[in-house]
Structure 1
């Protein structure tokens, strides 16, 4: 077996927020992780698909960004964007 060089192994307390909401066409289930280790970024995980991304709370990306990272259509990406715009203030 090859040698493993450990680079980092830390444990810390984080803030996790679970959110479920529905629109006319779809239900969304997300987990939001915040940590001092990743500065002002939030890790957003789509719990239905296990796709994730990180964003700065004060710099939301365009809906196309969310369409790509969560692998949803443009309409769903717009719904996600509108929700995040109100949530990540």
Structure 2
């Protein structure tokens, strides 16, 4: 609901919006590979739901920032970020 209101407000009168996602929004338990982690952030499932929702946004550009692979030897954060980007981009580039 909050994201929907923010997107609606940001996109009023615009052809497209610039979307930036900071991986720090994801709880440290799910995304340890970032320099400014938080406890009590969203889950990895909620992050992927967010990326699915953002497919409907008229985005001219999107970036996903603060992924720090050296801080996450298991690669969990990088995989989560890559999965989110794929879920956002694949329908756009496949025409679905």
- TM-score, reference length from structure 1: 0.32
Higher RCO (CA 8 Å, separation ≥ 6 residues): 2
Higher helix share goes to which structure?
2
- TM-score, reference length from structure 2: 0.30
**Bigger radius of gyration:** 1
Higher strand share goes to which structure?
1
